[in-house]
Chains A and B, each alone.
Chain A
Amino acid sequence: MSKYPLSDISRRQALKKLAVGAGAIASSGTLPGLIGHSQAQSTQPIRIGFQVHRTGIGAAYGRWYDRTTTAAVKRINEQGGINGRMVEIVAEDDGTDPKRGAEVLEKFASKHQCDVSFGTLFSHVVMGSSPRAGELKMPYFVVSEGHHVASGQLNRYTLQPGITDVKSQVEAMGPYVAKNLGKKVTMIYPDFAFGHDHRDYFSTAFENQGGEILAKIAIPPTETSFTKYFAKIPRDTEVIYHVMVGPAVLTFVKEMGEFFGPSKPAIFGFIDSLEAVDIASPGLEFLEGTYFWEGNPRYAQADQSSHDKLYRAAVGVDNNGASVTDSKDVSTYAHMFGCWETLYIIKAGMESCDYKGPADRSKLIEAVEAMSDMPLSDEHPQGAKIFNGKTHQAFGHQYISKVNGGKLELVHTTSIEDTFYEDEVDYTKQSF
């Protein structure tokens, strides 16, 4: 299993507690074999099964999710753990595969005796694992960003309290784009579910703002050359909304730059396209002056909060969003904060319900469902959030940044209310 080292201080504290406990047992004459169940539990660590994308297509994210998780657990343990118990991460690779994901949850429950499971990013793994979490009655805290949780497709044991979902992210962009960039938008997106969601969520939100979608240009997923699609962009387009993903995205940006030259319309994209890519890379000069949604501003801003500063230092990320040991190793900063925040929510939930062990799993879920306001803090460095206990989904601020001098400069922060949409499910009505 993956164990995380205690700091010297917490190690000493732990030893002190053990010594006190041993002394009490000795003085009362109780034999070790007769230690009560709850007493034994209190000295055992809280075991959190970390379903991590170590291999497969999610491995690049998995590396940073692991690094963030390590940092968060180290800090939680330095602060005394959860209910006085140390936290132990049991990491298992899901191979970014739904079937393997379900197997991993099974191992967490039956082999590793984990209290909860957490950490999944890719939606198809969440979709494949969640039913098993329900069967195992294992709380499953995902950090996926997908709308699958709030859509009602999953179950009461699956929660997404530490990161917002794509529906709220996309819909919250509508007002800013309409008010600041232009009223006539052409959307360019990959022709599959991910792109279709952007198309549907954004066009609805944008049209509600009085905007007009001039064209919806769907790019086949296997496409690696894009110039022919740019010719389809209507001439009176004021804003291009793009959300390309995959290996050809840099080619997309380069060819868009060559197509438009200096007289480009306003361009708005999602950082998902360029997550972990240095914006100042040669060939991406065309991005200068364009706008991006960011889940969490990659570059430390002039008014950086003390919470972001602490979080960056703990994970080992510099002011440009890269690793402190390699300035070229750019992090997945827009997403990985979700691991940090989710772990603190698990801690808060367990402390709130006085969690003792697996028998209290339903109490833990109810405790998290009862949460609502999560203020900006060291535990929530990305920003304040409001958790919707009925839909098991967190809502929070979204960030819009502009590329300026090869860096992303924050120009707008949405309100949390901008991200709300009608509830699509009430998981609290489902029995355990």
Chain B
Amino acid sequence: MKPAITCLASVLTLLLLSALFNPAIAHTTEQGFVLLLPTKVYIWSGVLAVLITTLALCVLPNKLSHQIFSDANLFLIKQQPVAKTIVSLLSFCILLLWLTSGLFGPHDPLKNILPLSIWTLFWMGFVVLNALLGNVWNWLNPWSGMYQLVVPKAIRENPPLRISERLYYVPAIVLLFGCTAFVLADIAPEDPLRLFWVVSVYWLTTFIALILFGDTVWLKYGEFLSVMLRAYSKLGPLQRVRHSTTHSQLRIGLPAWHLKKPLNRSMGFACFIVTLLACGSFDGLNETFWWLAKIGVNPLAFPGRSAVVGQTVAGILIASVALLVVVALCIKLGLRLVAMHYRKSGDPSTLEKQPISFRNAFAAMSVSLLPIALAYHFAHYLTSFMVNAQYALQAYSDPLNDGADILKLGQHFVSTGFLNTRDSVKIIWLTQGLAVVTGHLLSVLLAHNIALQLHKNRTQAILSQTPFAILMVGYTFLGLWLLAAPRGA
């Protein structure tokens, strides 16, 4: 692997240069305070909570398990296709404003509206908000309005190309991988001009894809942001359920209730979710001392992203493939346990059941990883959001960086003081930890519920999900460890 050797050589060269030329000091980060916290206790408490819940579910009556995710009707909502188009058009106009800022605004990424809006407000903030509110992205995406406005009805009703069902979600997975690589491996993903081009090209290619394949198909199976946001939005307590051609029903339940039914999930969607979790997990792992040591980088003298591009991209790929394999093995092993139990017991009640195929089990069970992925997304970005949201506020008050104060902020300095005291760092860490543990608890509940419905036999259901449950307990440890581990990049 020539590129890998080249990258390794670059790292070694930079390390050698560093050794020769006396690098400046690395900064004592807020991680210092995290290392002073009893995080081992917190981590094992979180793991124990998930483990106990998993065990408790084994003895919980099926009825109660189902009731956990019961939902209630709130009211009917009339569908508003025109309003939806207008909102999407407004959203497109806002995107144009952001892009204008990227092209003509300040070059400093912490003073330019484009990177602050894309990475902080949208990627860190809106993704979580959308999950809590329901899929408002369905209205806010910047393509649908333009699609309705400029694409002739004939083309909208009969798009020129069709995407094979076997390829559903494949573009979304590829694009998710590309986005993660850009975020983690590119040397300047926040550079306003660079981001202008990336966002513009992405908007345009997506719009072309909408014309070619139709908006419903591409936004549902191809465009990774829409796929991701829609998937996460299924975790929210409030859900719109189709009632008729003109109305939806707003229903409420425990977060993730909407995912309880193992509908005909596709393998592509399951793979997308596993990749989403893998990418999120790697975006955290790649900063740890552990990872840096693995790729031969001194964590106290990180040589810069350009020195580890190959390793980072390889890491995302390895993490994605590895998690897919591990999840698949867990599902497969679970089904094997069920089969063994069936052979041993010879229980006539099980004879009536059709065995669940690996494909169906994988597609259904992987969905239960969504709460973990979202929880980690929230936890991982929380501190960055708290700092960069202040920059965003400043940038919106002074978009051209010419001294304006549109929002009347007065003297406003961005502060990271809350990362400089043990007490505030403790509160932040516990909030992150609580989110991670809550995500895992929801995942365990969801997996159990889905398994009960898939197998319709309690023993089989428990056996089938045992390896998967062990994976989730292990992942709780990983998620919390990532928050506590010393970081150097």
Q: List which B1-52 residues lie within 8 A (CB) of chain A.
A: 14, 17-29, 31-36
Q: Does B298 contact A (CB under 8 A)?
A: yes
- A251 nearest in chain B by CB position: B35
Q: Does B75 contact A (CB under 8 A)?
A: no
Asked if A97 and B28 make an inter-chain contact with CB atoms under 8 angstroms apart, the answer reads no
Asked if B301 and A193 make an inter-chain contact with CB atoms under 8 angstroms apart, the answer reads yes
State the Cβ distance, B399 to closest chain A Cβ, in Å. 12
Asked if B413 and A93 make an inter-chain contact with CB atoms under 8 angstroms apart, the answer reads no
**With a CB–CB cut-off of 8 A, which chain A residues contact B187?**
95, 97, 99-100, 103
Asked if A224 and B486 make an inter-chain contact with CB atoms under 8 angstroms apart, the answer reads yes
**With a CB–CB cut-off of 8 A, which chain A residues contact B190?**
54-55, 93
Q: Does A91 contact B (CB under 8 A)?
A: yes
Q: How far is the CA of A123 from the CA of B19 in the complex (A)?
A: 11
Asked if B298 and A248 make an inter-chain contact with CB atoms under 8 angstroms apart, the answer reads no
Residue of B27, B36, B298, B411 touching A251 (CB-CB under 8 A) = B36
Q: How far is the CA of A33 from the CA of B151 in the complex (A)?
A: 47
- B16 nearest in chain A by CB position: A193
Residue of A98, A148, A282 touching B303 (CB-CB under 8 A) = A98
**With a CB–CB cut-off of 8 A, which chain A residues contact B14?**
98, 124
What string of 1s and 0s marks CB contacts (under 8 Å) between A53-67 and chain B? 011111011010011
Asked if B108 and A194 make an inter-chain contact with CB atoms under 8 angstroms apart, the answer reads no
What string of 1s and 0s marks CB contacts (under 8 Å) between A134-178 and chain B? 000000000011111001010000000000001100000000000
Most A-side CB within 10 Å, residue of B20, B26, B190 = B26
Known: A95-B188, A99-B187, A330-B420. A124 touches B23 (CB 8 A): yes
- A61 nearest in chain B by CB position: B27
Q: How far is the CA of A194 from the CA of B26 in the complex (A)?
A: 9
Asked if A323 and B415 make an inter-chain contact with CB atoms under 8 angstroms apart, the answer reads yes
Asked if A1 and B106 make an inter-chain contact with CB atoms under 8 angstroms apart, the answer reads yes
Asked if B299 and A222 make an inter-chain contact with CB atoms under 8 angstroms apart, the answer reads yes
Q: Does B289 contact A (CB under 8 A)?
A: yes
Residue of A93, A145, A247, A277 touching B24 (CB-CB under 8 A) = A145
Q: How far is the CA of A67 from the CA of B34 in the complex (A)?
A: 27
Number of interface residues of B (CB under 8 A): 64
Q: How far is the CA of A122 from the CA of B306 in the complex (A)?
A: 15
Known: A93-B191, A99-B304. A250 touches B32 (CB 8 A): yes
State the Cβ distance, B370 to closest chain A Cβ, in Å. 29
Q: Does A221 contact B (CB under 8 A)?
A: yes
Asked if B486 and A247 make an inter-chain contact with CB atoms under 8 angstroms apart, the answer reads yes
Asked if A281 and B422 make an inter-chain contact with CB atoms under 8 angstroms apart, the answer reads yes
Most A-side CB within 10 Å, residue of B23, B27, B190, B421 = B27
Asked if A124 and B301 make an inter-chain contact with CB atoms under 8 angstroms apart, the answer reads yes
Q: Does B300 contact A (CB under 8 A)?
A: yes
Asked if A247 and B107 make an inter-chain contact with CB atoms under 8 angstroms apart, the answer reads no
Known: A97-B304, A327-B417, A328-B418. A246 touches B411 (CB 8 A): no
Asked if A192 and B108 make an inter-chain contact with CB atoms under 8 angstroms apart, the answer reads no
Q: Does B380 contact A (CB under 8 A)?
A: no
**With a CB–CB cut-off of 8 A, which chain A residues contact B302?**
56-57, 96
**With a CB–CB cut-off of 8 A, which chain A residues contact B400?**
3
- B411 nearest in chain A by CB position: A325
Asked if A246 and B191 make an inter-chain contact with CB atoms under 8 angstroms apart, the answer reads no
State the Cβ distance, B283 to closest chain A Cβ, in Å. 14
Asked if B33 and A122 make an inter-chain contact with CB atoms under 8 angstroms apart, the answer reads no
Asked if A92 and B301 make an inter-chain contact with CB atoms under 8 angstroms apart, the answer reads no
Q: How far is the CA of A193 from the CA of B397 in the complex (A)?
A: 43
Q: Which of A37-45, A267-275, A357-365, A376-384 contacts its partner?
A: A267-275
- B309 nearest in chain A by CB position: A99
Q: Does A121 contact B (CB under 8 A)?
A: yes
Asked if A247 and B420 make an inter-chain contact with CB atoms under 8 angstroms apart, the answer reads no
- A153 nearest in chain B by CB position: B21
Residue of A4, A60, A90, A246 touching B488 (CB-CB under 8 A) = A246
Q: List 20 A-B contacts (CB under 8 A).
A: A2-B106, A2-B108, A54-B110, A54-B190, A56-B304, A60-B416, A91-B111, A97-B306, A100-B305, A123-B24, A166-B22, A192-B298, A221-B299, A221-B301, A224-B486, A247-B31, A281-B33, A282-B422, A328-B421, A330-B417
Residues of B near any A CB (own CB < 8 A): 14, 17-29, 31-36, 106-111, 187-188, 190-191, 289, 292-293, 298-307, 400-403, 411-418, 420-424, 486-489
Residues of A near any B CB (own CB < 8 A): 1-5, 52, 54-58, 60-61, 63, 66-67, 90-93, 95-100, 103, 107, 112, 121-125, 127-128, 144-148, 151, 153, 166-167, 190, 192-194, 196-197, 221-222, 224, 245-251, 254, 272-278, 281-283, 316, 322-330, 332
Given contacts A146-B24, A147-B22, 8 further A-B contacts (CB under 8 A): A122-B23, A153-B21, A192-B301, A193-B22, A224-B486, A247-B29, A325-B412, A328-B424
